[in-house]
Amino acid sequence: MSSARPPLSRREREVMDVLYRTGEGTVAEVMEQLADPPTYSAVRSTLRILEEKGHVSHREDGPRFVYVPAVGRETAQRAALNHVVDTFFDGSADHALVTLLRRSDLELSERQIQRLAREIRRAREEGR
């Protein structure tokens, strides 16, 4: 999500997580996916606020509104990762990557290692 969009509250992030995971959802469907759901009207209000902020859009399906993320998953992933790198790693992508690689539960296949090596070479060639 671009910096032009207002930041999200905890509940708004939870709702967005549901929509990215499921692709779309009605108020009732979003409620079913929330760990500790508030009332129906609170979820409906949260979705309306997210739409006003530009994070979701909706289409009508009979009497129901079906909500979808307004920003593609890949764009949202990039923005979220940039935020984490900037906030927790002082903007250092290499520190973030080293931290990921040091995870105790990380098991990379030879194919995944080769892909990472290719991406590092590509970034170097592009001057990043």
Domain positions in the chain: 10-69, 73-125
For the chain, the helix, strand and coil percentages under 3-state DSSP, each to the nearest 5: 60, 10, 30
Angstrom distance (rounded) from CA 89 to CA 87: 6
Convert the pLDDT of each residue in 98-122 to its tens digit. 998 888 788 889 999 999 999 999 9
Long-range Cβ contacts of 85-91 (<8 Å, 24+ apart)? none
pTM above 0.75, yes or no: no
Confidence band (pLDDT; 50, 70, 90) for 4?
A: low
Enter the CATH code of domain 10-69: 1.10.10.10
